[in-house]
Amino acid sequence: MDKHRNKKHNNWKNQQNSKNNNFTEQNQKARFYPSSYENRESNQERLKAIEEIKTRQNICPMCSLPITDLTSSLTDKKTNQPVHFECALEEVKKNEEIKENEKIAYIGQGRFGILYYENIRDQKHFSIKKIIEWENRETKSQWRGEISDLYSKIN
């Protein structure tokens, strides 16, 4: 019975090999090599500007400590300067009343939310009870714009 079955169906190993050979041939023909639209000088200038930003001494206005990772910072509401994410989270926690089965979490786009869990052990199922706007979505901070302009270039 096995012999009869093999006659009706091609050998799966031969099928796999022929498929792989066709795929690699097509891949080699249609290979795309992106080219750089920037010349080397402008790329080096951009890298120098990134290094300069990284070496700047940014002080958090909330805790007066240096900010070592500017990319994970949020914008202070009062000064428009970068603040530690943890400092912003602590400020939100001070100003909000948290009840049983609730938790404050960052929900993106400069916003925090008070999350409500029916079962606190089930972290996948929750509802957002309140949204707290930390950053103004209408205005882009100068320091954030400078970073995004430098980092979002396509090489």
Asked if residue 32 is part of any domain, the answer here is no
Choice between 150 and 143, residue whose per-residue pLDDT is larger: 143
Lowest mean pLDDT among 11-15, 48-52, 59-63, 72-76: 11-15
Asked if residue 71 is part of any domain, the answer here is yes
Burial annotation 84-100 (CB, 10 A radius, 16+ → b, else e): bbebbbebbeeeeeeee
Residue 155 has pLDDT above 50, yes or no: no
Taking the C-alpha atoms of residue 73 and residue 142, their distance in angstroms, rounded to an integer, is 13
Lowest mean pLDDT among 18-32, 103-117, 133-147: 18-32
**pTM, rounded to two decimals:** 0.59
Residue 87 has pLDDT above 50, yes or no: yes
Ranges of H-type helices in 56-136: 85-95
Residue 135 has pLDDT above 80, yes or no: yes
The top-scoring range by mean pLDDT among 25-29, 47-51, 52-56, 113-117 is 113-117
Asked if residue 121 is part of any domain, the answer here is yes
Mean pLDDT of 2-23: 54
Asked if residue 139 is part of any domain, the answer here is yes
> Can you state the angle between helices 142-151 and 40-55, rounded to 10 degrees?
140
Confidence at residue 83, expressed as pLDDT on a 0 to 100 scale: 92
Asked if residue 3 is part of any domain, the answer here is no
Question: Which residue segment(s) compose the domain that 75 sits in?
Answer: 38-151
Asked if residue 20 is part of any domain, the answer here is no
Asked if residue 22 is part of any domain, the answer here is no
Asked if residue 18 is part of any domain, the answer here is no
When divided into structural domains, the chain yields a total of 1
